[in-house]
Each structure stands twice: as structure tokens, then as C-alpha cells.
């Protein structure tokens, strides 16, 4: 079975057991490790993988061919994207400025645009898409005026001498009372999605039961990340929603995509296609 997910610690932690043949009855995986911006577009191709990790924001483009799975993704509280600047600034600083983002089909980007529409009515300037690990160095070097960052950047941005302009996750939670719907696992609609979800849940449970076992694999793919940072990343992003989206998980995804569609940020979509 072909699968694509990011090399980030939460994904490699979740899929470790399945990748290593530790889930009885699960097929062998042919894994593509790719940045979320790559997997978002892989899902739009006719020859895209059987199973993928994508941003929740990318779902309106892919739900015709893929179905959302109820587990394996990344949702939560206190784990949202940040807008960083070189100096401490107020929101109006962003008017007309260059902003680096990790993907234009990411939840981070949708949250950013929704927040900007309320707090920077003049609008930002140039948007530059770049791999997320390049964003903080770009802000530090002055290549861009601000950066939208995700994942472990929450823990490491002070080491670059950067300042947080806003925590978009905190804003989202305060505004909606819902978790932040960051990443989703999708599978081709013709596949046995119940079986795939079962294999993913078994892989998550194995990692939770043996948390040190996946760490060599996690760190091998984590782009020289410190082990303690990787563990903090896992503890933040691998949570109850990784095992089951539940009512709040589905509600968060629906709310995000409905608001984004109203702003013209994503195509119109059929909420029933989420198949809760």
C-alpha cells in the first residue's frame, strides 16, 4: 500500500509500528516522506498514493477521490501556528509586508488569512511559500518581514531571536471553543477505510505503549532535531484526536472549511462528504 506523510515526529511516531511490520494483518507500506505542501498536491493527482497525510485545509480539493479517516491526524489545543517577526510588533505591522508560509493549502494559512481579514484590514503584501524549516532563518535574515510557522517552531523560535506576533491557535480556540484542525489522514474511496483506520489506531496504540521504541526512527527523519524537542512535539500533536476525531474533531474541520469557503479561500464543498 502506498502512503505519504511528513517526516515530522508526530507522523513518524504514529506510523512507526505499521511501517515496521508490527501490526498483524496490515499490508506492507511503500512510504513517501514529504513536506505537507507536497502531500497536499499529491492528493490531487490521479496517481496519488493510497493513503496520505494532508492539511485539513486541503480537503475541499480532494474529497471527491479521497475520504477523511477518523484517526491518525493532527488536531489539538495549544498547538496552533504562530506568526513571527524579527522585532516585537503589533498586528498592523503586517500591512503590505512579505510573509513566508509553509503552504497555501494549509490550516496554518487559512487561520492566517481568517485572522488577517479581521486584524489587518489593509491586507498583507507578498506571500512566499517555502519549506517550514526555512521560514525562521528567512525571517531572521530579513528575506521576509514575517513568517507563519508550525510544528516544533513553537519550541525553537526564541533561539532565532524572533518574536511572536500572534498565536493563531490561541485566537482560534478563543473564537470557536474548538481544537485546531491541522492535519488529516485520507484514503482512496475504493479502499477498505475501516480496516485502514484500524491499522492506524493499532499503530498509535503501539507507540503509546512503547514510547521509546519509535525514537530512533523518529529522530532519523526529524532533520537533526533535538531528542527532547521531538518528544515535546509528539506529546503536543499525538493526542486523543490521533486515535479518534470525535464530535469536536469533525466540528473543528467543518467550522474551519465553512469559514474559509465563505471568505473564498477554498472551493465550495459538501460537508456531508466528511462522513462522520
261 annotated to a ligand binding site:
no
Sort strands 51-55 and 2-5 into parallel, antiparallel or unpaired: parallel
Distance CA 121, CA 124 (A): 9
Instruction: Calculate helix-pair angle for 168-176, 107-119, nearest 10 degrees.
Output: 80
Nearest alpha carbon to residue 111 among 42, 186, 174, 68: 174
86 annotated to a ligand binding site:
no
107 annotated to a ligand binding site:
yes
Residue 64: CA atoms inside 13 Å, Cβ hemisphere, count? 7
Tell me whether residue 151 is one of the annotated catalytic residues: yes
97 annotated to a ligand binding site:
no
All three cell numbers of 68, joined, read 477523511
**Given the residues 151, 163, 210, 233, the one annotated as active site:** 151
Sort strands 82-85 and 146-149 into parallel, antiparallel or unpaired: antiparallel
Length of the chain: 276
Yes or no: say if 82 and 164 are a contact pair by the CB < 8 Å rule. yes
Yes or no: say if 138 and 115 are a contact pair by the CB < 8 Å rule. no
Q: How far is CA 3 from the centre of its chain?
A: 16
108 annotated to a ligand binding site:
yes
Yes or no: say if 147 and 161 are a contact pair by the CB < 8 Å rule. no
H or E element that contains 195? helix 193-209
Active-site residues: which are they?
Answer: 151
Please state the residue numbers annotated as binding site for substrate.
53-55, 107-108
Please state the residue numbers annotated as binding site.
53-55, 107-108
Amino acid at each position: 500500500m502506498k502512503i505519504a506523510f511528513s517526516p515530522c515526529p508526530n507522523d513518524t511516531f504514529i506510523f512507526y509500528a505499521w511501517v515496521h511490520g508490527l501490526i498483524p494483518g496490515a499490508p506492507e507500506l511503500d512510504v513517501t516522506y514529504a513536506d505537507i505542501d507536497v502531500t497536499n498536491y499529491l492528493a490531487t493527482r490521479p496517481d496519488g498514493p493510497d493513503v496520505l497525510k494532508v492539511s485539513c485545509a486541503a480537503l475541499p480539493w480532494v474529497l471527491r477521490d479521497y475520504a477523511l479517516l477518523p484517526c491518525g491526524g493532527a488536531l489539538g489545543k495549544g498547538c496552533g501556528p504562530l506568526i513571527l517577526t524579527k522585532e516585537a510588533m503589533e498586528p498592523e505591522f503586517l500591512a503590505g509586508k512579505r510573509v513566508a508560509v509553509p503552504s497555501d493549502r494549509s490550516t496554518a494559512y487559512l487561520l492566517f488569512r481568517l485572522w488577517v481579514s479581521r486584524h489587518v484590514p489593509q491586507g498583507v503584501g507578498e506571500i512566499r511559500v517555502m519549506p517550514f524549516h526555512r521560514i525562521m532563518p528567512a525571517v531572521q535574515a530579513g528575506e521576509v518581514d514575517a513568517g507563519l510557522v508550525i510544528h516544533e517552531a513553537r519550541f525553537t523560535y526564541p533561539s532565532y531571536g524572533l518574536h511572536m506576533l500572534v498565536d493563531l491557535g490561541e485566537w482560534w480556540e478563543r473564537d470557536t471553543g474548538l481544537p485546531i484542525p491541522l492535519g488529516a489522514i485520507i484514503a482512496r474511496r475504493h479502499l477498505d477505510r475501516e480496516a485502514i483506520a484500524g491499522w492506524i489506531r493499532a499503530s498509535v496504540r503501539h507507540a503509546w505503549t512503547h514510547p521509546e521504541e519509535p525514537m530512533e526512527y523518529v529522530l532519523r527523519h526529524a532533520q537533526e532535531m533535538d531528542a527532547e524537542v521531538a518528544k515535546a512535539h509528539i506529546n503536543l500533536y499525538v493526542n486523543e484526536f490521533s486515535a479518534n476525531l470525535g464530535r469536536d474533531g469533525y466540528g473543528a474541520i467543518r467550522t474551519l472549511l465553512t469559514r474559509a469557503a465563505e471568505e473564498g479561500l477554498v472551493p465550495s464543498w459538501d460537508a456531508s462528504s466528511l462522513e462522520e
